[in-house]
Amino acid sequence: MTVQTFVNVPETEKPRLVIVGAGFAGLTLAKRLVDKGFQIVVFDRHNYHQFQPLLYQVAMSGLEPSSISFPLRKIFQKKKDVHIRMAEVVEVVPEEKYLLTNIGRCNFDMLVIAIGARTNFYNNPNIEKFAYSLKSTGEAMFLRNQILRDFESALITRDFDTRQSLIDTVVVGGGATGVEMAGALAELKHYILPKEYLELDHREVEVYLIHSGGRLLPGMSEKSGIAAEKFLTDMGVTIIKNCRVTDVSDNAVTLSDGRVITTRKVIWAAGITGNTLKGLENATMMPGNRYKVDARHKVIGYDHIYALGDIACMVDEAHPNGHPQVAQVALQQANNLANLLSGKKQLDFKYKDKGSMATIGRHQAVVDFSLGHFHGFFAWILWLIVHLLALIGTRNKILVFFNWLWNYLTFDQSLRLILRATKDARNP
């Protein structure tokens, strides 16, 4: 018989609410239910909240990782009924109301699954092995280091084809992440390389954006998709539409039309799939590996388990395939569940679309609001303001603001350092 170690959490007479995941949904729910009569236990693989919409700017050396990350314990430092545990949840045992983690067992009265989604490589082992994804701060830092290493390697490479494979980049996926990444790479090519890598001809650098659909930004208006394509084309990005990536190797990308692009860097932004947990066999799974939930966020088949954000699929007349997997949905769902659990309001969830936006580069962005569509400089200012206000913590807001201001005034980015944690100073 296996002896189970319990997670070190104080016993209490209050109902224990366990939240798995400290992303937008999990963190918002925890903050809303503080001092509302619950003991709250938050499990996450990290001890910080990461602002995912700006991960690509970390990868492009525009922001430091700490600027878009905020320590979870800092948020709840004076709240005795909130307990943060850095751990990986392994399995849920719903009948006995406990879950198993890599640090032990934890009982719960209510469980909220808010673990988000991971990159979908569509069961292609080569893509998973050789492509870079961008779902965490660690992945953003890894990609940043690789981009800078490749530029350094290109400087000492005499062979033209090898050098070209080091400086060219392929971005796969024409959604907001792919479009913003392609725009940031184009800015790196135009503003940074000519100043810091003088021996490289920046005109030889190619940025490709591969999209399986007929227009970019399919989640936004057609006008915004067309505007984004024009912005990127003007910046020198080669856009290939109605084409899929069928294979990736360590130095090439194969497309569905037979073309092969030589490159060492493939950034995969072509879709996500849910992070499911073992043990919820009775749950109804929806496309995208998402748990089907009712209008009050309960996982179908369970009375005491809820799901929020990217992992949840709530079907209604307006959203027959579930709500879009974006931050606004996660935030609104978390607020609605907080109202339900605290007894404040007992309302079915209704999503209010507040608009969508994407930035392509300097002075270039697209914004869709109910009042209209905005493209160009005004949209770019709106994008800056919205993302700045959404960051957690005054310090982070100030850091990001001054980084953006410096980049704007100097056409420069000051964070191009290749950093790797190591114990051996002789092997940096």
Residue (of 181, 146, 167, 360) closest to 268 by Cα position: 181
For the record, the structure tokens of 69 come out as 């990350």
Q: What is the pLDDT of residues 90-147, one digit of tens each?
A: 999 999 999 999 999 999 999 999 999 999 999 999 999 999 999 999 999 999 999 9
In this structure, what DSSP letter does residue 419 have? -
**Cα 81 → chain centroid:** 29
Mean pLDDT of 292-296: 97
Domain segments of the chain: what residues? Answer: 16-119+272-342, 125-270
DSSP state of 372: E
Query: What's the CATH number for 125-270?
Result: 3.50.50.100
Question: Phi and psi (nearest 5°) for 54?
Answer: -110, 15
pLDDT at 422 over 70: no
CA distance 273 to 39: 31
The reply to whether CATH 3.50.50.60 applies to domain 16-119+272-342 is yes
Q: State pTM to two decimals.
A: 0.91
| Phi, psi for residue 143 in degrees, rounded to 5 | -65, -40
Burial (0-12, 13-18, 19+ Cβ within 10 Å), 195: exposed
pLDDT at 379: 95
Quote the pLDDT of residue 419.
65
Q: What percent of the chain has pLDDT over 90?
A: 82
* Average pLDDT for the chain: 92
Question: Does the pLDDT value for residue 3 go beyond 60?
Answer: no
Please say if the pLDDT value at position 1 is more than 50. Answer: no
